[in-house]
Amino acid sequence: MRISGQITPDDLPRVCPLLSRQTNPQYGEDRTRVVEVGGVRFGDGRPVVIAGPCAVESHDQMLAVARAVERADGDMLRGGAYKPRTSPHDFQGMGMEGLCMLRIAHEQTGLPIVTEVMDTRLVEQVAEYADMLQIGSRNMQNYALLAEVGRAGKPVLLKRGMAASLCEWLGAAEYIAQQGNLNIVLCERGIKAFPAGEYARFVLDLNVIPAVQANTFLPVIVDPSHATGVASMVEPASRAALEFGSHGLMIEVADFLTGRPRCDADQSINGETLARIVKFAQSHHERLLVDQQAV
Amino acid sequence: MRISGQITPDDLPRVCPLLSRQTNPQYGEDRTRVVEVGGVRFGDGRPVVIAGPCAVESHDQMLAVARAVERADGDMLRGGAYKPRTSPHDFQGMGMEGLCMLRIAHEQTGLPIVTEVMDTRLVEQVAEYADMLQIGSRNMQNYALLAEVGRAGKPVLLKRGMAASLCEWLGAAEYIAQQGNLNIVLCERGIKAFPAGEYARFVLDLNVIPAVQANTFLPVIVDPSHATGVASMVEPASRAALEFGSHGLMIEVADFLTGRPRCDADQSINGETLARIVKFAQSHHERLLVDQQAV
Amino acid sequence: MRISGQITPDDLPRVCPLLSRQTNPQYGEDRTRVVEVGGVRFGDGRPVVIAGPCAVESHDQMLAVARAVERADGDMLRGGAYKPRTSPHDFQGMGMEGLCMLRIAHEQTGLPIVTEVMDTRLVEQVAEYADMLQIGSRNMQNYALLAEVGRAGKPVLLKRGMAASLCEWLGAAEYIAQQGNLNIVLCERGIKAFPAGEYARFVLDLNVIPAVQANTFLPVIVDPSHATGVASMVEPASRAALEFGSHGLMIEVADFLTGRPRCDADQSINGETLARIVKFAQSHHERLLVDQQAV
Amino acid sequence: MRISGQITPDDLPRVCPLLSRQTNPQYGEDRTRVVEVGGVRFGDGRPVVIAGPCAVESHDQMLAVARAVERADGDMLRGGAYKPRTSPHDFQGMGMEGLCMLRIAHEQTGLPIVTEVMDTRLVEQVAEYADMLQIGSRNMQNYALLAEVGRAGKPVLLKRGMAASLCEWLGAAEYIAQQGNLNIVLCERGIKAFPAGEYARFVLDLNVIPAVQANTFLPVIVDPSHATGVASMVEPASRAALEFGSHGLMIEVADFLTGRPRCDADQSINGETLARIVKFAQSHHERLLVDQQAV
């Protein structure tokens, strides 16, 4: 019995020739292409920590969280202005107003901004306000959006789909690359599998990190917030991701003083926990440098 | 440990009040809303069989397959003009030209057309040529597209995402309904799970059919071609789907005389097999009528 | 990156040479080896329906259900005397006393008995009372038990593990066959995957039925009760399984007059529903015979 | 629609009252019960590293690997004398002779031994040679074996089944505890999910580590060898597991000088890599101590 539609990692040189390590020998066996976003460098040794609220909710909330990220020595700010929600009756994000709040937070902290775009017709608008465009898990195979974002001339954060194989993920990245934009950072965020929902929101799949690195030269980071869905797991998951070779983290942080977040409250950590994670990321990097000099 | 983002069927009245059976008592416990497409009626007792090629490839191929569907007594024609492919370097469909070929096939056979649209900016164009707009699995949570398709005034075929829960699927349908369009037909097409790829492309999940029917009044059909990925499984899967209560089928058919299909060749059946499936669908319906009269 | 432990259907001639269709050409492309249990023949055209309570609970309950199975024209009786339960503090079955009750039910109805054995040291005892020994899902890879059961000289019903691949399942059957016992019937009973628990207990995987038949000559049946976990789904799942080529069914039936069952109450059907399923199985078989004569 | 057989972590006090943290308040919110095996202490702060070959193959191989584990400063020796294999025609382990080789390796190195037992009738024999009895994934729900091992008076290593939920795993441990044996160490070893086989053997599920610790007082370790199936992933997976709170590791090590292992060759690391992992485990523990003093 022959089965339609089978793609394996052996097919990657054909599926994504622009991004496959095998078809781009200039990157050798383990060199990563550095992606720069407003001075922040993904894949250049030191892990990058992106942090911020699930959704932008108000000027006060956004600035409070941005200050917390700044104090924690985070590298970039995240925050959703356009929110993909399971129900159309749930809070959909503040849209244009949210983008504006993100930009003001950037002005006050200097931290570059990444935010999700979900509509081809809004790519240009979002690109004016954001330093990096995020493609969310639900849109990982929205090929029209991938191409449009590829043309926008901004670095792209491409989250893995909830059930995307490695090949489907890298194939999606190739749609961006095909538009001449190789400034792509991949982001693992947990997958759907039988235990998802029993004790965590998704199953954090760290095995995919070295598999990504073996098959492409793009940097890859981890979102421990969605991958666990449990605030108390975010710090250990962050450390684990870095030890597994992740080039960075994207974390949901809340300022619980300005109110309980309107989405993902149970997976949001506070600024102090973030500070410990950032400190770990830095010391982890220093340990690696020391180890390398020892060799 | 509390987990973010948990939604269960108990939440459906809140997630999709326009579509939930519980919030729409006029449909009672088991009545289905009939969705009509060019004279074809989904959910009205007799199962609907949609058939056609994976992708439209040429006038000759499209007409040959359309004639085969007509001979087999199929109800509607399918065919992809815009094809979502894992790699951007694979055949992406014939686009506008493919739509035109579909329309001509309709003119010659009278069979209504369903075809996939993947880009919000092409919804209007596709809606001019198609009788029903298909949202593919990869775009099930492309909410901008769902809303745009909802506004287009054409019936919509919403395929289940490869890892979509029941709640995520009905939530996606609610985005269409929110635009005032309740002419939605759901389509199960196989899910990702551990055995997918070992002996079949996906895992056909028929349990979801009665679960859909218990929770919404929308009709639901099954795509046995993608759910199995194996041509010899399509006929038994079709019969099984109908016995499990599916309101219809969407099947990939090829005319192997005009050449091997450019995609999904191993899951495409020929016109004779299709004819047997249609005949089964009709006799299945008659049996049900006899059984009901006996009660 | 090379991965340890990969087995695919191409390896089956090596994994299970005693059972692989390819290494046993006497069975051709589609002939099934008939397994006989007390006059009941699995794989001989007419589907076999096994039915009975989840657990044997009392003489009254067992006889009431056995009579219902007899009235419904079922072929064999099931009933658990030794019950594998997630918690050791849950009801573990009546053991030896349950075996005795099963045997008495057999005496009164003439229906052959299948019951689960979980302990190598009890195989001989259970084999004295049962006509067919069942290996449950949890013990599918309990190789010591498989070998012991293989030596017991009774036909074996081997349920698929909750996450067993086709290859692991047939490899397990080979452990029985290696002891000289080819009287094995396989039983699909639902697998673990992301939606399990949302609207059904497991995911009924019917695609595996033709895959089993393509790779071995053993008969294969379906347990729609565990695969769905929902009483109202059992009848449609049964019909679907037969249409997909299953050689039979194993169904949990309760006699709700003698009390709510102590396990699996929500997936147990009554005798009337069972009678409709048996009637469908018979008419399904007659239809197939008519179709074959028409060819 | 009500579904049979649903168990959630809220049910754990009822499912496993002997092991649930909630029903054993003496362990508070985060204290672990220390399990001692020949002087090695699981759950007492310093992570425990178990290492050794997949299967015992010869005196020379076993001693060479044991010496490598000793040199690397590992804590315990593993090695399979009875091997559960998908096919009965594959190497099944050396049995009694293998146990003897393990014991001699213990005599020469002083390292305590853990080895798998698969047959209730061999528990006594294996317990004579081993310091700790391992229940493998395939036998996690072999309740007769769990009870027998519980009675043997030796500490038990209970691996998680390939598709076991948290509740099923802790329920299995309760079968051991019910015999009066609380010296149980749990071991996560990768689960079955859609990407298993694409780039790794299983999906390493680290989220389960804090979930175990929140729900029971038993120590829990990780097997990075089976969870990845790829030798080059074992070291990063080991570090990640420790950062996620694992109380130890169980790792497959080969001595490639004495020959390629007869099973799991592609996931076996050499002694040097093991030494780096052990060193990491020790420094990780020291860092934690320093951090705690800083608080």
How does pLDDT run across A141-175, given as a tens digit for each residue?
999 999 999 999 999 999 999 999 999 999 999 99
Q: Which residues of B touch C167 (CB under 8 A)?
A: 198
| Distance (Å, whole) CA A228 – CA A264 | 11
Measured CA to CA in angstroms, residue A107 lies from A67, A113, A130, A151, D257 at distances of 12, 10, 12, 26, 61
What's the pLDDT at B55?
A: 96
Evaluate if residue C259 carries a pLDDT over 90: no
Q: Which residues of C touch B8 (CB under 8 A)?
A: 198
Name the C residues in 127-186 with CB < 8 Å from any A CB: 163
* CB C80 within 8 Å of CB C56: yes
Average pLDDT, chain A: 96
What's the pLDDT at B206?
A: 98
The total of other beta-carbon atoms located within 10 Å of residue A29's CB is 8
What's the pLDDT at D279?
A: 97
Measured CA to CA in angstroms, residue A152 lies from A81, A130, A169, C157 at distances of 18, 11, 20, 60
Q: Which residues of D touch C126 (CB under 8 A)?
A: none
What's the pLDDT at B259?
A: 80
* CB B209 within 8 Å of CB B241: yes
Evaluate if residue A256 carries a pLDDT over 90: no
Cβ distance of B237 and C244 shorter than 8 Å: yes
Evaluate if residue A59 carries a pLDDT over 90: yes
Q: Which residue of D has its CA nearest to B163?
A: D194
Is C237 in CB contact (< 8 Å) with chain B?
yes
Cβ distance of C142 and D143 shorter than 8 Å: no
| Distance (Å, whole) CA C127 – CA C145 | 13
Q: Which H/E stretch holds residue C222?
A: strand C220-222
Buried b (16+ CB within 10 A) or exposed e, D40-54: bbbbeebbbbbbbbb
CB-based contacts of B276: which residues, under 8 Å, 6+ apart? B235
Q: How far apart, in Å, do the first and last CA atoms of chain A sit?
A: 51
Name the D residues in 200-229 with CB < 8 Å from any C CB: 200-201, 229
The total of other beta-carbon atoms located within 10 Å of residue C29's CB is 8
| Distance (Å, whole) CA B101 – CA A171 | 29
ipTM, 2 decimals? 0.96
Cβ distance of D163 and C167 shorter than 8 Å: no
- Which of B194, B210, B211 is the closest to D194 by Cβ? B194
Beta strand pairing call for D35-37 and D40-42: antiparallel
Token pair 């054993």: residue: D24
Q: Which residues of A touch D188 (CB under 8 A)?
A: none
The total of other beta-carbon atoms located within 10 Å of residue D2's CB is 11
Cβ distance of D227 and A210 shorter than 8 Å: no
Chains A, D: CB contacts under 8 A, how many?
127
Q: Which residues of D touch C229 (CB under 8 A)?
A: 3-5
Q: Which residue of C has its CA nearest to B239?
A: C243
Burial class (CB in 10 A: 0-12, 13-18, 19+), C290: exposed
| SS3 assignment, position B208 | helix
Helix, strand, coil % (nearest 5) of chain D?
45, 15, 40
The 10s digit of each residue's pLDDT in C102-156 is 999 999 999 999 999 999 999 999 999 999 999 999 999 999 999 999 999 999 9
Q: Which residues of D touch A288 (CB under 8 A)?
A: none
Evaluate if residue B226 carries a pLDDT over 80: yes
Evaluate if residue A264 carries a pLDDT over 90: no
B192 to chain D, closest Cα gap in Å: 6
Is C230 in CB contact (< 8 Å) with chain D?
yes
The 10s digit of each residue's pLDDT in A167-221 is 999 999 999 999 999 999 999 999 999 999 999 999 999 999 999 999 999 999 9
D245 to chain A, closest Cα gap in Å: 7
For every one of its 295 residues, what pLDDT tens digit does chain D have, with 9 covering 90 and above? 899 988 999 999 999 999 999 999 999 999 999 999 999 999 999 999 999 999 999 999 999 999 999 999 999 999 999 999 999 999 999 999 999 999 999 999 999 999 999 999 999 999 999 999 999 999 999 999 999 999 999 999 999 999 999 999 999 999 999 999 999 999 999 999 999 999 999 999 999 999 999 999 999 999 999 999 999 999 999 999 999 999 999 999 998 887 888 888 899 999 999 999 999 999 999 998 988 887 6
- Which of B16, B17, B120 is the closest to A121 by Cβ? B120
| Distance (Å, whole) CA B35 – CA A50 | 47
Cβ distance of B207 and C206 shorter than 8 Å: no
Query: How far is Cα of residue D241 from the mean position of the Cα atoms in its chain?
Result: 13
Grade residue B48 by pLDDT with cuts at 50, 70 and 90.
very high
pTM over 0.90: yes
* CB A255 within 8 Å of CB A64: yes
Q: Which residues of B touch A87 (CB under 8 A)?
A: 14-16, 171, 174
Measured CA to CA in angstroms, residue C89 lies from C70, C84, D11, D12, D171 at distances of 34, 11, 12, 11, 9
A108 to chain B, closest Cα gap in Å: 30
Cβ distance of A9 and D204 shorter than 8 Å: no
Q: List, in sequence order, the alpha helices (H) in chain B.
A: 12-15, 59-71, 96-109, 123-129, 143-151, 166-177, 208-215, 224-228, 231-243, 271-294
Cβ distance of B196 and D196 shorter than 8 Å: no
Q: Which residues of B touch C226 (CB under 8 A)?
A: none
Q: Phi-psi region for residue B36, left (φ > 0), alpha (ψ -120 to 50) or beta? A: beta
Establish how many alpha carbons lie within 13 A of residue D172's alpha carbon, considering only the half-sphere containing its beta carbon: 30
The 10s digit of each residue's pLDDT in D168-197 is 999 999 999 999 999 999 999 999 999 999
Q: How far apart, in Å, do the first and last CA atoms of chain C sit?
A: 51
Query: How far is Cα of residue B165 from the mean position of the Cα atoms in its chain?
Result: 17
Tokens of B221: 């059909």
| SS3 assignment, position D222 | strand
Nearest to B241 by CA among B281, B294, B291, B290: B281
